[in-house]
Chains A and B, each alone.
Chain A
Amino acid sequence: MTRAAHDTEVARTTPIVRATLAQAAMELRLLVRSAESLLVTLGIPLGVLVFFSVVDVLPTGDRSPVAFLVPGVLAISVVATGLVAVAIQTAFERKYAVLKRLGGTPLTRGAFLIAKGLSVAALLLVQTVLVVVVAVAGLGWQPGGGLLLAPLLVLLGALTSTALGLLLAGTLRAEATLAATNGLFLVLLVISGVTFEAEALPAPLAALGALLPMGALRNALDTALSGEGLAVEATLVLVAWGLAAVVVGSRRFRWEP
């Protein structure tokens, strides 16, 4: 290799940190740009929290509605952003050849995935803070503990949800992803014990809900925020979903339309 060619290649190395941060900022702007997406990611969780705290119509057990609702609403936020919003956004990026085009830039797949994760994390931070502020300041919620554990569980839930969202986006057609995630989200809202006690459901449905990511995250957060430490079983369910999504996704994900 000539000196000039060598210098060219050195000068051409990819500024990986700058590229990843710029990508994450773009992903975040796109996440909050569409009104439909914001309705799902911010509107639904906050709406559920405020409405059902104030209007006590649902079976929430012997606790105050807000104490029951906070873990569930956090789980809704995580799934809405990590799974629903990421899946739909990424599915259409694939459909419109954005992913293919990015494959022709120096942005690596690893940097791309990290950027997606960072954008989800940033939006979730805002959502979590909003939920907690509204619950504490507006609805008189006092956590029973888990101030260190709960954020870690939110992070784990976000990783699992994002992996599942990417799996759907990379394997289904965009329209199918849109339908599947919205349908799945509605089903999860009903069977995960996030808005009302799962005990009000038929037992098999409640059991199923606890084995799906939203219910597992809700249960783990509930245990942590009640000051009862780590709910091992629910946490393992989350980890298993995340690992399964990563394993299947890394084999099946298609970048091209």
Chain B
Amino acid sequence: MPEAAIDAAAPSGTAIAVRGLTKRYDGLVAVAGLDLEVAIGETMALLGPNGAGKTTTVECCMGYRIPDEGTVRVLGHDPRRDRAVLAPRTGLMLQEGGVYPHAYPEEVLRLFAAYYRAPRDPEELLQRVGLTGSRRTRFRDLSGGQKQRLSLALALVGRPDVLYLDEPTTGLDVAARRSTWELIEELQADGVTVVLTTHLLDEAEQLADRVAIIDRGRLIAQGTLSELTRAEHPRVTFAARPGLELASLSSALAVPVTEPSAGQYLVDADNEPELLVRLSAWLADRGERLEHLHTGTSSLEDVFLRLTTDDVEVAP
């Protein structure tokens, strides 16, 4: 069978391989030579300002767009040519719309379930996304959050191996966002590969194994959260009584220590156990109380802002 040859060509363990992807719309470059690899079972967050090319990249993976240059392989298959193989294994959540305005959540979920050989139970999913009370409300009359949650349920009903979520929690309140995250975390535990586009940094931090930061169609950073944030200045910060003797402390730790603001200290070094022992000892010798200690990395937000700083249009 033809699929066998295609699958054999796929490096084992790779769910999505994007190589040199370029896509233009009317001469405007949306994606410019993007490389991306997502391992099976991994959650990859595509992070970037609006218009960075995140959605175009996902739509090339979905087979909605034909790349102008480069290749895209999903589970070893060409997303357009092998749609019949990929579609039953793929779940999708569009940014908005996608459901009949006059249809009820219950019947749409049952309809989508009928597309798949072994779907999840629509009733169970309806409960999980909290729509049992709105099962007979027309889609157009649902709130924005309810529409989002129905879209998520529709993405999950076919038990996908690969799941694309385009801004899954935009417009959700805090509680709905948390329950959406929980649902996604369950899928991660089941080994589902997730590609998530978001401009919410905390969402990427919460869900993603790895983050790809995309700006103006290019991949500008990629890695696990700790890799990305460690590439920033490693540091240890702590709070204590203002006016500690910095020269003595610096020589005790063998690295520079500064006091950027009163009582806030910054140790310009990586988070080594030895360093913390020496810091504790130095403070203990002088009877100083350690008020607050933050080790290691800067936040993903620092990384993101530094990398995309030229056209800062980051949603809150």
Contacts and interface: CB of A to CB of B under 8 A. Distances in A.
Interface of A: 1, 5-6, 8-9, 11-15, 18-19, 21-23, 26, 29-30, 33-34, 92-93, 96-98, 100-101, 103-108, 256-257
A11 B118 contact: yes
A26 B98 contact: no
Chain A interface helix/strand/loop/mixed = helix
B7 A98 contact: no
Interface string B104-123: 00011011101111100000
Interface residues of B, number: 35
Contacts of B154: 101
Given A33-B102, A34-B102, A106-B116, 4 more contacts: A13-B88, A26-B107, A106-B115, A107-B115
Interface of B: 3-4, 7-8, 62, 64, 84-85, 87-90, 92, 94, 96-103, 107-108, 110-112, 114-118, 154, 158, 161
Contacts of A26: 100, 103, 107-108, 111
B116 A29 contact: no
Contacts of B112: 105
Given A14-B115, A100-B94, A93 B100 contact: yes
Between A1, A98, A106, A257, the greatest number of chain B beta carbons within 10 A of the residue's beta carbon is seen for A106
Given A6-B4, A19-B115, A97 B88 contact: no
Given A30-B103, A106-B88, A15 B116 contact: yes
Contacts of B158: 105-106
A103 B64 contact: yes
Nearest to B90: A104
A30 B111 contact: no
B94 A14 contact: no
A22 B85 contact: no
